[in-house]
């Protein structure tokens, strides 16, 4: 699998604290190995647009699509609690 980052993701990622960036990078490695990795808690977020949600940590989630052999990372946002 390959990874492609969208511009909205890159803009938000650039503004994140360094510790959150490192945690995302760790979670991305897990995603590339296994979308069902337990720490990701990955689930379909929007069935109609095939958008998935996965956990970065307790405070952030990232959203992605799976297009053939590519993970398209759409965005990363604070988890609304």
pLDDT in tens, 2-28: 999 999 999 999 999 999 999 999 999
**Gap between the Cα atoms of 64 and 55, Å rounded:** 11
The percent of the chain in helix, strand and coil, each rounded to the nearest 5, is: 30, 35, 30
CA distances from 32 to 29, 49, 54 (A): 5, 21, 12
Residue 66 pLDDT greater than 80, yes or no: yes
Structure tokens given for 79: 């988890």
Residue 44 pLDDT greater than 90, yes or no: yes
Looking at residue 80, what is its pLDDT?
77
Q: Which domains does the chain have, with CATH numbers?
A: 2-78 (3.30.2310.20)
Instruction: For residue 57, give the DSSP letter.
Output: S
Residue 77 pLDDT greater than 80, yes or no: yes
17: CB partners within 8 A, 6+ apart: none
């Amino acid at each position: 699998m390959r990874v492609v980052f969208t511009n909205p993701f890159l803009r938000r990622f650039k503004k994140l604290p360094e510790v959150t960036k490192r945690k995302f990078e760790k979670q991305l490695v897990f995603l590339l190995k296994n979308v069902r990795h337990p720490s990701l808690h990955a689930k379909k977020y929007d069935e109609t647009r095939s958008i998935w949600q996965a956990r970065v940590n307790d405070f952030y989630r990232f959203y992605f699509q799976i297009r053939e052999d590519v993970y398209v990372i759409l965005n990363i946002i604070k988890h609304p609690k």
